[in-house]
Amino acid sequence: MWALPGQPEGRGWHVSAVNSRAVPERSTDTGQAAVADLDEQQLIAACLAGRAGAFDLVVERHRKAVYQLCYRFVGNHEDASDLSQDVFLRAYRGLKSFRGGSSLGTWLYRIGVNVCLNRVTVKKPITEDLDARQHVDGSRESQVDRVLREERAAQVRAAIAKLPPKQRATLVLRMYQELSHEEIAGVLGSSVGAVKANFFHALGNLKKILGEMA
């Protein structure tokens, strides 16, 4: 049984002793709703109460968005995977301090941006070369078009990786995570005006960097 930090013993996240995998519970013997059926607030409460599989479900619901955020920041799968794990671990540690002032997703983005910003300040981003990347489904387009599109996408990703951290965060959250400017302001702890200015400058700088790459 796993317990959240500060939880009394006997309450925690149930883990199978055989394969150390936690499984979100589907039914309960206490008449409570199954974890998989809980809405966000109930799920957070379940995590804090140490219900079996509750945090596992948080990871399951948000892992793709968190991974993509990290990937957009660092530009390679290996680092994005490590950072995603770090984001969830920090979320687990800090779940008690989550006040519910924003959605859980926005809160996770905030952690993700902090983790990624810390990462990019200590390590220069390494973007994957074309061959190392897995291609999106392009079966209907010609081989040449697909290669050209991939090439251009790689250039754009590399250009994004060269943006100043705050501009990069703003661009990624707006363009790829589709957060509103207000939500981005909440994540980055800045004003909506500053977010829009950062977005404007990010796109301007992106154009400049891509022009230098050409």
Partner 1 sequence: MSHLKPEQFVDLAEGMLPETAAPHLAACEACRRQLADLRAMMSETSGVEAPEPSPLFWDHLSARVRDAVAEEAARPRTWRERVLQPLVLVPSLAAAIAAVIIAILLPRAAVAPNIPSLPLPFAENVTVPSPSPSLPPLAPLGASDDPQLGIVAAIATTVDWDEMRDEVALATGGSSDALAGALSIDEQRELQRLLAEEMAQPSALEKLS
Place of tokens 């936690």: 22
Contact residues for 54 (Cβ-Cβ < 8 A; gap 6+): 13, 24, 35, 38, 43, 46, 47
Question: Within 13 Å, how many C-alpha atoms sit on residue 15's CB side?
Answer: 11
Q: Does 55 bind partner 1 (CB under 8 A)?
A: yes
Q: CB within 8 A of 138, min separation 6: which ones?
A: 145, 146, 149
Please give the Cα distance from 106 to 205 (Å, whole number): 26
Q: Total residues at the site for partner 1 (CB under 8 A)? A: 52
Our finding on whether 190 is near partner 1 (CB under 8 A) is: no
Contacts of residue 211, Cβ cutoff 8 Å, sequence gap at least 6: none
Quick count: other Cβ atoms within 10 Å of Cβ 195?
Answer: 25
Q: Which stretch binds partner 1 (CB under 8 A): 15-23, 32-40, 106-114, 115-123?
A: 15-23
By CB under 8 A, name the one of 5, 8, 10, 31 that touches partner 1: 5
Binding of residue 68 to partner 1 (CB under 8 A): yes
Q: Which residues of 116-135 are buried (b: 16+ CB within 10 A; e: fewer)?
A: beebbeeeebebbeeeebee
Q: Judge whether 141 and 148 are in contact, CB under 8 Å.
A: no
Q: Does the footprint of partner 1 cover residue 201 (CB under 8 A)?
A: yes
Site string for partner 1, 17-36 (x = CB under 8 A): ---xxx--------------
98 binding partner 1? (CB under 8 A): no
- Between 20 and 31, name the residue whose CB sits nearer to partner 1: 20
**What gap in Å lies between CA 126 and CA 42, rounded to an integer?**
39
Binding flag, residue 56, partner 1 (CB under 8 A): yes
Q: Is 14 in the site for partner 1 (CB under 8 A)?
A: no
Residues numbered 136 to 155 that lie near partner 1 (CB under 8 A) are: 136, 152-153
What residue type is assigned to position 64 of the chain? K
For the CB of residue 31, give the shortest distance to partner 1 in the complex, in Å. 27
- State the nearest-atom distance from the C-beta of 43 to partner 1, in Å: 15
Interface contacts to partner 1, rule CB under 8 A: 2-6, 12-13, 15, 20-22, 55-56, 59-60, 63-64, 67-68, 71-72, 77, 81, 84-85, 88-89, 92-93, 133-136, 152-153, 156-157, 160, 171, 175-176, 181, 193, 196-197, 199-201, 203-204, 206-207
